[in-house]
Amino acid sequence: MPSLSFSKLLRVGEGRMVKRLKNIADHVSTLSPDVEGLSDDELRGKTAEFRERYSAGESLDQLLPEAFAVAREASWRVLSQRHFDVQVMGGAALHFGNIAEMKTGEGKTLTCVLPAYLNAISGDGVHVVTVNDYLAKRDSEWMGRVHRFLGLSVDVILSGMTPVQRRAAYAADITYGTNNEFGFDYLRDNMTHSLDDLVQRGHNFAVVDEVDSILIDEARTPLIISGPADASSKWYGEFARIAPMLKVDTHYEVDIRKRTIGVHEAGVELVEDQLGIDNLYEAANSPLVNYLNNAIKAKELYTKDKDYIVRDGEVIIVDEFTGRILVGRRYNEGMHQAIEAKEKVEIKAENQTLATITLQNYFRLYDKLSGMTGTAETEAAELHQIYGLGVIPIPTNRPMVRVDNGDLIYKTEEAKFDAVVDDVVERHEKGQPVLIGTTSVERSEYLSKQFTKRGVAHNVLNAKFHEQEATIIAEAGRQGAVTVATNMAGRGTDVVLGGNPDILADLQLRKQGLDPVETPEEYEAAWEPALEEVKAQVKADADTVREAGGLYVLGTERHDSRRIDNQLRGRSGRQGDPGESRFYLSLGDELMRRFNGGALESIMTRLNLPDDVPIEAKMVSKAIKSAQTQVEQQNFEIRKNVLKYDEVMNQQRTVIYEERRRILEGADMEGQVEGMITDVITAYVDGATGEGYVEDWDLEQLWTALKTLYPVGIDHKVLSGENEDGEKGDLSRDELREALLEDARSAYANREAEIDGIAGENGMRELERRVLLSVLDRKWREHLYEMDYLKEGIGLRAMAQRDPLVEYQREGYDMFQGMLDGLKEESVGFLFNLQVEATPAPAGPAASAGLAVAPGLASPVGSGRPAAAPTVATPAQTSTRPAVPAAAAPAAPAVPSALRAKGLDDQEEQRLTFSGPAEGGGTAVRRSGSAAAGESAADGTRRERREAARAQSKAPKKTARSKRKR
């Protein structure tokens, strides 16, 4: 976090903003008598009126007072809850694109109804973002009752939904969901092959609940969708069968020193005979060349028990320098799979990143962003710097009377927990409810055992079963209740003294089979009586609890972040209720150990204090606050660094996704393809004629390369005026280029006539769209792989006195330009060479087929270089930067029958892996389809394998040499 002075500077003018919000709340209150007199139908009719006025030119700001008054009245009629003035102020702050800092218990969920209703009037959609699926579903049902009453549609995005369900949910006026689901849907939308498969409809306005958790705590973990880099293992096995038939020097040659191999013509013929194909090097068969090369390298250049070992059916690399096994590491570019096929063990798919974005950059897509939290003040500067969001502290509805006691510090952790148990037992006996916050599941379970020994009835929450959590938290304020919870558990549910009547009434109705979405009329009819009954039950209990001192919140350890501590404390003292809080610490706590706990221990030792006697000193509390500030600052720098690096990717991602959307929307690609042909031919000519005169040019090699790109119709000997003696006439580079461009354009016109003859009018335009989309997706995935690897080692540039970020930006730009050049070349090659045939339409749903969906499909023309002749040596995978693995087969949509590309396999739907921030910290990973439990670490992304390697191996840090064996 930035300096304190900057934080203070940001809060200048806060008073004026709060005063403005107060004036808005007063204005809304003056309109209340008018809306109170309206019938239900008249109140509901206001929504249509507001939409008409908005269409006529009134702004949402102008509609705000009336719309808020209507939503406030609807909340009272539907939920029996009327917004306090401070909630109206909070709603206005959200509408203006700020973060409303509202203390726990001030009704943030109800506050959100106001700006959501107002912004839904525009018809552009409102996204309400929560921290877990349970809260998203609960709030969409609970607050959705108000919106549905007013004629708006409300839906929710949950993790198990189908694309059809998601599309319907996003079409609603207001959509609830988690940050991960919104982000993953954005990424998936940029992986689809049809406009019909898109689910989101833009990013208009978002209200982020628990905004500090989502935009701060979870911002270090990016959202990643990954998938298998090779769709099929059959070719590895096929070439592992053929490789022993090939003889060195007869069918291929090997250079052990350079670690290269070259296949002779005899070897190519043998392979063609075995596979039953006419030409191994034609475009449709080009992926097979890589399988062949890898199979020979696996046979000749990679030796068992020297370069690798086989253990438990798995190929594990051996470090060539240290001799240690490198668990979790894999060779790149399909080499590891070729060795697995050679050893006849299971061939594991390589996972690669298909799409990724940070939460920071995702939420910056919204035209207007706002958020709610009870603890944003400590992060105000970061929220302003990263997201441009101001933090507006909203006054409490009633004065806060909670007593926050000083910290008690014990010498040992055992003494601390003994004191905690004694304190809780004492409070429990007098009927005071207690909420104990812990930092881990283990400590929760330890305390639970201690309470069981002492005969104290209690509940334990561990942030796993959210629906059960809400029920337990709803009852945590009852007389004598003892609740042990991890710090993150039970968020979104208020601890109300005596019990939370809204949650308890809802549970009672659900037990009767009533549901606010499935049976809305019956639910609404039964709601009021049920709520009144529950309120009567909890009132007497609430009075007893108040007399006992209110809710007592007890923290067993300080968190790295002051916000988390404040969130725990904030559960007590809501709405002016009495309450108390205290933290019990020990010198063994993580934060104390990290920041000079030894000095404090020596003081306690010199004073000869028994283990069970604590110290309570302001000096210690200040030291803890200072330690937390340092940790917060470190974490802020990490998040800022993540954003700086992702900013490079974000600019590139924006270019690619915009181009992709243009193709999806049916933009005319004819002119773009013509430009690609010009660029590619020009690059080929410039590369072959860089120096000297026509006598110095190797036109034979240029023509060989061009023939893999398109059917060349002119002879270079005729063009250059070459005579029988090999002497060439005058030919300039420009003349050569123009002649080839004219020839290529003529060939493309013939190709267009051919395709249109097969597929009908505009068949070529459809082929262009399919090819460009397929190649764009694959090249982008390969680029993500390269950028991931670049970022992994860029920190070493600092040793050469270079700024790693500047180097990353420069090299990333160069790689992006290279990717765009390769995209043009591959697209042109496919458009000229794909064999297209007419096929009858399927009887059932259209079979999935594509234009570049053969397993591991590679470029038909190489990677920006002339195609190698069969005898040209290809290096083994020992370069300083690993090559991109074989490309993942894109999940293509159904292709019109006349545009089936001959020789390309139909593609089954990919099994994707979704990785994003977990609610309680760390990373949450889930897989589409049926993921097997306990999958091997080798069958995952490189990041997953690295984590497995750290856990299983004590290998030294990666050297430049060992690192490249990935």
Q: What confidence tens digit (pLDDT) does each residue in 345-361 have?
A: 988 876 678 888 988 88
pLDDT digits (tens, 9 = 90+) for 539-586: 878 888 888 888 999 999 888 778 788 888 888 888 888 999 999 988
**Lowest-confidence range among 9-23, 542-556, 594-608?**
594-608
Greater pLDDT, 884 or 408: 408
Are 380 and 425 in a shared domain?
no
Question: H-helix or E-strand containing 939?
Answer: none
Are 111 and 210 in a shared domain?
yes
Paired residues of 875 in beta bridges = 260
Greater pLDDT, 477 or 241: 241
Q: Which tokens belong to 349?
A: 């798919």
**Cα 248–chain centre separation:** 48
Q: Is residue 930 part of a domain?
A: no
Are 21 and 145 in a shared domain?
yes
Question: H-helix or E-strand containing 332?
Answer: none
The domain boundary, picked from 339, 365, 393, lies at 393
**Lowest-confidence range among 73-87, 585-599, 719-733, 823-837?**
719-733
Confidence (pLDDT) at 464: 54
> For the packed helices 501-511 and 520-547, what is the interaxial angle rounded to 10 degrees?
140
Q: Is residue 415 part of a domain?
A: yes
Confidence (pLDDT) at 866: 32
**Lowest-confidence range among 496-500, 588-592, 920-924?**
920-924
pLDDT at 962 over 60: no
Question: Measured between alpha carbons, how far is residue 809 from residues 637, 787, 795 in Å?
Answer: 19, 10, 13
Question: H-helix or E-strand containing 586?
Answer: strand 579-586
Are 14 and 142 in a shared domain?
yes
Confidence (pLDDT) at 93: 94
Confidence (pLDDT) at 964: 32
Confidence (pLDDT) at 943: 46
Nearest by Cα to 172 from 153, 157, 185, 158? 153
Distance from C-alpha of 183 to C-alpha of 161, rounded to nearest angstrom? 15
**DSSP secondary structure letter of residue 863:** S
Confidence (pLDDT) at 652: 92
Q: Across 39-43, 105-109, 330-334, which has the greatest mean pLDDT? A: 39-43
Q: Is residue 322 part of a domain?
A: no
Q: Is residue 171 part of a domain?
A: yes
Cβ burial 897-915 (10 Å sphere, 16+ → b, else e): bbbbbeebeebeebebbbb
Q: Which tokens belong to 657?
A: 């996704």
**To the nearest whole number, what is the mean pLDDT of the chain?**
79
Percent of the chain whose predicted confidence (pLDDT) is above 70? 80
Nearest by Cα to 147 from 105, 98, 114? 114
Question: H-helix or E-strand containing 689?
Answer: none
> pLDDT band at 725, cuts 50/70/90?
low
pLDDT at 192 over 60: yes
Distance from C-alpha of 884 to C-alpha of 439, rounded to nearest angstrom? 41
Are 389 and 421 in a shared domain?
no
pLDDT digits (tens, 9 = 90+) for 120-164: 999 999 999 998 888 899 899 989 999 999 999 999 999 889 999
Distance from C-alpha of 166 to C-alpha of 743, rounded to nearest angstrom? 49
Are 729 and 689 in a shared domain?
yes
Range of the domain at 759: 652-840+847-917
Q: Which tokens belong to 812?
A: 């990333």
Dihedral, CA of residue 272, residue 276, residue 277 and residue 281, to nearest 10: -30
Q: What total number of domains does the chain contain?
A: 3
Are 389 and 413 in a shared domain?
no
Confidence (pLDDT) at 121: 95
For residue 451, give the CATH number of its domain.
3.40.50.300
Distance from C-alpha of 516 to C-alpha of 894, rounded to nearest angstrom? 39
Distance from C-alpha of 727 to C-alpha of 720, rounded to nearest angstrom? 9
Are 385 and 455 in a shared domain?
no
> pLDDT band at 418, cuts 50/70/90?
very high
* Alpha helix stretches (DSSP H) within 332-491: 335-342, 359-363, 380-387, 413-429, 441-453, 466-474
Nearest by Cα to 82 from 111, 105, 104, 117? 111
Q: Is residue 231 part of a domain?
A: no
Paired residues of 206 in beta bridges = 127, 369
CB-CB contact of 451 with 458 (8 Å): yes
Confidence (pLDDT) at 211: 86
Q: Is residue 14 part of a domain?
A: yes
Q: Is residue 215 part of a domain?
A: yes
pTM of the model: 0.74
Question: H-helix or E-strand containing 916?
Answer: strand 913-917
Distance from C-alpha of 359 to C-alpha of 180, rounded to nearest angstrom? 8
pLDDT at 404 over 60: yes
pLDDT at 47 over 60: yes
Confidence (pLDDT) at 849: 35
Are 363 and 468 in a shared domain?
no
pLDDT at 945 over 50: no
Q: Which tokens belong to 587?
A: 């010198």
CB-CB contact of 314 with 344 (8 Å): no
pLDDT digits (tens, 9 = 90+) for 108-129: 899 999 999 999 999 999 999 9
Q: Which tokens belong to 868?
A: 């190698």
pLDDT at 611 over 80: no
Confidence (pLDDT) at 471: 77
pLDDT at 855 over 70: no
> pLDDT band at 426, cuts 50/70/90?
very high
pLDDT at 847 over 50: no
Greater pLDDT, 895 or 402: 402
Which sign, positive or negative, has the C-alpha torsion 637, 639, 640, 642?
positive
How many other CB atoms are there within 10 angstroms of residue 588's CB atom?
Answer: 17
| Structure-token match 């982000």, residue found | 183
Q: Which tokens belong to 509?
A: 């109705």
Confidence (pLDDT) at 894: 38
> For the packed helices 804-833 and 699-709, what is the interaxial angle rounded to 10 degrees?
70
For residue 656, give the CATH number of its domain.
1.10.3060.10
Cβ burial 136-151 (10 Å sphere, 16+ → b, else e): bbbbbbbbbbbbbbbe
Are 458 and 586 in a shared domain?
yes
Greater pLDDT, 250 or 963: 250
Q: What is the mean pLDDT of residues 634-646?
A: 80
Are 56 and 193 in a shared domain?
yes
pLDDT digits (tens, 9 = 90+) for 361-391: 899 999 999 999 887 777 788 888 888 888 8
CB-CB contact of 487 with 568 (8 Å): yes
Annotate 507-540 with DSSP letters as a single string: HHHHHTT--TTTSHHHHHHHHHHHHHHHHHHHHH
Q: Is residue 272 part of a domain?
A: no
Are 364 and 499 in a shared domain?
no
Which sign, positive or negative, has the C-alpha torsion 404, 405, 408, 414?
negative
Confidence (pLDDT) at 487: 65
Confidence (pLDDT) at 903: 36
Greater pLDDT, 599 or 893: 599
pLDDT at 942 over 70: no
Residues present in the chain in total: 966
pLDDT at 961 over 50: no
**Cα 800–chain centre separation:** 33
> pLDDT band at 934, cuts 50/70/90?
very low
pLDDT at 696 over 80: no
pLDDT digits (tens, 9 = 90+) for 26-39: 999 999 999 999 99
The domain boundary, picked from 367, 393, 419, lies at 393
Annotate 163-182 with DSSP letters as a single string: HHHHHHHHHSSEEEEEHHHH
**Lowest-confidence range among 250-254, 640-644, 874-878, 937-941?**
874-878
pLDDT at 590 over 90: no
Q: Which tokens belong to 274?
A: 């075995």
> pLDDT band at 596, cuts 50/70/90?
low
Distance from C-alpha of 248 to C-alpha of 951, rounded to nearest angstrom? 42
**DSSP secondary structure letter of residue 551:** E
Confidence (pLDDT) at 179: 92
Residues 6+ away with beta carbon under 8 Å from 884:
332, 333, 352, 782, 785, 786
**Lowest-confidence range among 201-210, 268-277, 500-509, 831-840?**
831-840
**DSSP secondary structure letter of residue 572:** S
**Lowest-confidence range among 222-236, 543-557, 642-656, 811-825?**
222-236
